[in-house]
Every structure is written in structure tokens, then in C-alpha cells.
Amino acid sequence: MKAMINNIDNIIKHINESNDFIVTSHISPDGDNVGSTLAMYYCLKKLNKNVYYVLDDNTPLNLKFLVKGVEILRSNELKINDYSLISLDCGDKSRICVSDEIINNSNKLICIDHHASNNYYGDLNYIDSEASSTCELVYNLLVRFYQVSNLNLIDEKVATALYTGLVTDTGNFSYSSTHPSSFEMAKELLILGAKRDTIIQNVFQSNPFNFYKLLGDALNTLDIVESKIASIMLTKEMLKKYSISFNDVDAITSYTRDIQGVEVGILLKEKKENEVKVSLRSKNYVDVSEIAKTFNGGGHVRAAGCTIYDSIENAKKLVLQEVLKTI
């Protein structure tokens, strides 16, 4: 068992002393995933390192503006042998979204993350479950980097990437994970050139028309149990009908949680037959990461997820059973 210690200075030292890096994150990319990985990618490039951004999943439509012009490789396109792997925003080693070969062949696995369930799976770790986002941890690392080397790596692009993860993981500064440090970071990033309007318009105000048609159908499946648990089901047929991708429906999750009196919101998304991705959200007191863990998932106290290998109807029943124990 590895010691659960943070090695922020050793991570900086390792970055300074090495040349070849792969940066990656978890499956089903979100704003913090893309923001933190991209910020790290740009910074390593600025330091003249040889760096590859690898992720075996599709960038959601509302985050494409951020990675425009950036080459994101699939595992099978990569052709280097000697590298350090930096895993960002990924609480669980099995969720790192590159091939096992890339994980196992890395010289050093560096993990930067804010999931409480993270078991310090890296050789070097910087984990803080109190942090609003992994972007906040990357920001802290870059501030520390500046303190020790007098080099400011945060330019407009890095600031924009970091601001995106901060905004998405805090629900636009509304969740309880938003601390005074998050606002301080936001202030500094805005001073350093973060494109706030571009971020807000792309992330929150660019849903395709068909998204709303799908939302209409999705809301027809809305079900409330004991006035405290709300769920929505999205079948693969519904996604197909409106040509909306699996990774582009995250915004629907909050409709379940945001109902008056509801404590736990559940979105069930059918990926394929007998494979259902479950998103769990809570408002006040239920620790949804514990519920997710019962299905081998994980996440945060107020936002967690898991995959259930069963029909969507059975998945709903199974999750409801667990949620009811917590209400």
C-alpha cells in the first residue's frame, strides 16, 4: 500500500527533470477533465517538453471550442515508449481513458485529482478532495511552479482552460465545493486573460435545438419517489431519434436535482443494451458517492456516477433501492 501523501514539489521536480509526457483524464469527458488536461498540456509545451494529449473518448460539443486546433490522440495512434503519464481529474485508476498498455508502460504515473475516493494510485500524487476542481489543483501547482522557478506559465489559453473546469465543477460557483480560494483563483485567471464570455456562451448557452426536443421527451420520463428522489431515463433510441450523442446530455442531470423538495436526482443513460450510465446528484445531506460505490462507481459527495450492466428499467429499480436507504 502506497503512502497517501501529496508530492507537489516532487511533481514539479519531475516535470523539470523529464522530457516526454502523456496527459490524460477519465472516460466521459466534462469541463474539469478537459480544462485540467488541456492546461497541463499547454504548460508542458511552453516548457518545451514533448507532450501528447491522449483520450479514448469524444469531447462533448460544448467543450469543443476549448480544444480547437489541439491534437487529441487515441491510444492506438501513439508511438512513444519512454514517457511519464499524467492523469488528471480521474479518481480511479480503472477509469483512466487510455489503453492499459499506456498505463503499464509509463515510467512514472502522476495523479492530480480531487475525488475523495482516490486511493493515491500514482507514483506521485497531488490529491485534495476539498478542492473545487482538478483545475484548482493545477492552478495551485502552477502558482507553486512560479514561486520556485519565477516562471509564469498561465497565459490566456491556460487561464481559459482552467476557468472552464472551475465553472463547470462548481456549477457556476454555486455548489458547496466552491470555496473562497475558488473565487480568488477566478479573479486571478480573469486578470490573466481567461475568456469568460466565450466559456459561458459555449458551455451553457450553445445547446442545439434538438437537445431541447430530447429534453422534452426526457422530462416525460421524470418520476418522483417519496417527493425526495427524482429520476429521468434516456434510452439509446431517444438519443438516436434526435441525433444527440451520449456525451452531450450532461446538462439534463440537474433537472432531476433542481426540483423543489428533491434531495437526490438520478439520470439513467442507456449506452448500449444492458449497459446504463447512472449520474447521481444530491442537494443537502445524501452522500451520493457512497451510493455509487455500491455499484463499483464513485465521485463526490454531491455528484457521483456508476455503470450498471442491466436493462435501464432494472438499473432504475436497483438505484432507487439504494437511494431509498439514505432518505
User: x-or-dash pattern for ligand 5GP, window 117-156, by CB under 6 A?
Assistant: x---------------------------------------
How many residues sit close enough to Mn ion to count as binding (CB under 5 A)?
4
* Identity of the residue, 7 or 279, whose beta carbon is nearer to ligand 5GP in the bound complex: 279
Residues 237-296 that bind ligand 5GP (CB under 6 A): 250, 279
Task: Give the E-state strand segments of the chain in sequence order.
Answer: 20-24, 50-54, 72-73, 84-88, 108-113, 124-127, 223-225, 229-234, 264-272, 275-282, 298-299, 303-308
- Separation between Cα atoms, residue 281 and residue 171, nearest integer Å: 12
* Identity of the residue, 140 or 311, whose beta carbon is nearer to Mn ion in the bound complex: 140
Under the binding rule (CB under 6 A), the answer on residue 28 touching ligand 5GP is: yes
- Separation between Cα atoms, residue 121 and residue 83, nearest integer Å: 17
* Identity of the residue, 84 or 177, whose beta carbon is nearer to Mn ion in the bound complex: 177
Which one of 11-19, 88-96, 256-264, 316-324 is the stretch in contact with ligand 5GP (CB under 6 A)?
88-96
The sheet that has 303-308: what strands, in order across it?
A: 223-225, 229-234, 264-272, 275-282, 303-308, 298-299
Cα–Cα nearest to 299, from 26, 41, 11, 10: 26
Cα dist. 226→171, 292, 304 in Å? 26, 20, 21
- Separation between Cα atoms, residue 295 and residue 284, nearest integer Å: 22
Contacts of 182 (CB under 8 A, 6+ apart): 132, 133, 136, 166, 170, 173
Among 14, 25, 26, 32, binds Mn ion (CB under 5 A): 32
* Identity of the residue, 45 or 293, whose beta carbon is nearer to ligand 5GP in the bound complex: 293
Which one of 23-31, 62-70, 179-187, 257-265 is the stretch in contact with ligand 5GP (CB under 6 A)?
23-31
Cβ 108 vs Cβ 121: under 8 Å: no
* Identity of the residue, 129 or 235, whose beta carbon is nearer to Mn ion in the bound complex: 129
Q: Is 191 exposed, middle or buried (0-12, 13-18, 19+ CB in 10 A)?
A: exposed
Among 109, 110, 124, 303, binds ligand 5GP (CB under 6 A): 303
Among 63, 263, 297, 319, binds ligand 5GP (CB under 6 A): 297
Under the binding rule (CB under 6 A), the answer on residue 304 touching ligand 5GP is: yes
Cβ 277 vs Cβ 305: under 8 Å: yes
For 301, the enclosing helix (H) or strand (E) is: none
* Identity of the residue, 41 or 246, whose beta carbon is nearer to ligand 5GP in the bound complex: 246
Decide which of ligand 5GP, Mn ion, none touches 194; Cβ closer than 5 to 8 Å per partner kind. none
Cell triple for residue 99?
Answer: 489503453
Instruction: Give min distance, CB of 46 to ligand 5GP, in A.
Output: 27
Among 89, 128, 248, 250, binds Mn ion (CB under 5 A): 89
Q: Which residues bind ligand 5GP (CB under 6 A)?
A: 26, 28, 30, 91-92, 95, 117, 250, 279, 297-300, 303-307
Q: Which residues bind Mn ion (CB under 5 A)?
A: 32, 89, 134, 169
